[in-house]
Amino acid sequence: LWKVCIRNRFFFVSRPLTRNHHSPLGRGTRCFVAVDCDTMELCALKDTWRVAGYQREGEVYQWLHKNSVRNIGNILAEGDVAGSLHSCGSFDSNWKLPSDSTIRKHIHYRIVLDVVGEPLSAFKSTWELNKMMLDAVEAHHDAVVKAGIHHHDISERNIIIVRPNNAPPIGYLIDWEFSKYDEDGGRVYEKTVFNPPRSTFQFMAARLLSPDPVPRTLGDDLESFMLVYLWIAALYAPNNMNAVERGQVLEMFDSRNPVFRRSCMSSGHTTPYNYRLRSTFLRAILMKLMHAFSFRYSAPLEWMDNAEEHYQNAQKVETHDFMIQALQEGLRNEEWKAIADHAEEQKWTDQG
């Protein structure tokens, strides 16, 4: 048991929930269930080495709350850890570091939120899964529209299920440290000369995997939500795939070949149809969404006269409206809501 101080507030923490900090790569991020020493209530503490030159995640949360963004946690404490031992990557003499070096300065940082959530894979029904996805997309919508902030790292780890006492569960969108401020709105906190990868690879939009840089759009974050929904459905929603078939499906998320993911996205509704999901309601939602996203990766044939219609279909997934409306439609289905088809962790065979 450790007692951690963050700007004159104290928290008890024990063993971290996460394991990725054991890797020699990355930023050593650890997440803990903590106890606030003042209130003795549970909270979540994130300990990481943030990249210098970016806004602190706490600053992002403050701006999000100032603009009334829904479905995000409240900050209890945040700040850099003091002392020379808690920063690395900087040098006193210029000659020690080549001018073309990609070494970046990192600063030890901690942030505490007032919610302790469950992973998205802990859904108690596929209807609830759909609700959690909707809540997270609504948080993203508010951040973009109200606060001018784009998350840029949508993944299954960054959507959590929060179960308040005596209240329905809520999907929270977390981990805003690599979010991008909307430059057109004049709220550019990010001042940096480098451009590191900004997304969890498994859920990056297919077009961003191209070797040639492409301008990032709102539709890319929405496609990441789509990929998270597909991944969770394939691995945890009850379905009739065997381990080999499930492994083949999951290969889309791990393959470094951009053609593979682009092909799956352009296949549209046939991609989730092949998952053989037991819930016809979940399958219908996924097929409807994937049909819309397929227009990002297909083009009308020259001899066809529906180029304008095709363009309008592709534009549907460049705003939140279509996705939110589709997810809301699913929530209105009382028959689906009554089914307790909880998550099942299912076996899969690695295709590597």
1-116 adopts what CATH topology?
A: Phosphorylase Kinase; domain 1 (3.30.200)
DSSP H/E element including 107: strand 106-113
Q: List the domain boundaries for the chain.
A: 1-116, 117-186+196-352
> Coil, helix or strand for 117?
coil
Nearest partner of 250 among 279, 242, 266, judged by Cα: 242
Buried b (16+ CB within 10 A) or exposed e, 300-331: eeeeeeeeeeeeebbebbeebebbbebbeebe
Which pLDDT does position 52 carry in this prediction? 86
Which pLDDT does position 313 carry in this prediction? 86
Buried b (16+ CB within 10 A) or exposed e, 73-96: bebbbbbbbeeeeebeeeeeeeee
CA-CA distance, 144 to 166, in Å (whole number)? 30
Which pLDDT does position 315 carry in this prediction? 92
Nearest partner of 343 among 171, 125, 117, judged by Cα: 125
Looking at 3.30.160.270, 1.10.510.10, 1.10.1520.10, 3.10.580.10, the CATH number of the domain 117-186+196-352 comes to 1.10.510.10
Q: How long a stretch of residues is the chain?
A: 352
* Per-residue H/E/C for 159-215: EEEECCCCCCCEEEECCCCCCEECHHHCCCCCCCCCCCCCCCHHHCCHHHHCCCCCC
- What is the residue-level pLDDT of the chain in tens, covering all 352 positions? 899 999 999 999 998 876 665 555 556 789 999 999 999 999 999 999 998 888 899 999 999 999 999 999 999 999 999 877 777 766 566 556 566 666 678 899 999 999 999 999 999 999 999 999 999 999 999 999 999 999 999 999 999 999 999 899 999 999 999 899 986 443 333 333 334 445 789 999 999 998 888 888 999 999 999 999 999 999 999 999 999 999 999 999 998 888 889 999 999 999 999 999 999 999 999 999 999 999 999 876 555 557 778 788 889 999 999 999 999 999 999 999 999 999 998 999 987 6
- Matching CATH topology for 1-116 and 117-186+196-352? no
Is residue 347 classed exposed, middle or buried when 0-12, 13-18 and 19+ CB atoms within 10 A define those classes? exposed
Nearest partner of 327 among 147, 141, 115, 70, judged by Cα: 141
CA-CA distance, 293 to 160, in Å (whole number)? 24
220 vs 65, 276, 297, 321, CA distance in Å? 24, 26, 12, 15
Which pLDDT does position 17 carry in this prediction? 77
Which pLDDT does position 311 carry in this prediction? 83
Which pLDDT does position 105 carry in this prediction? 83
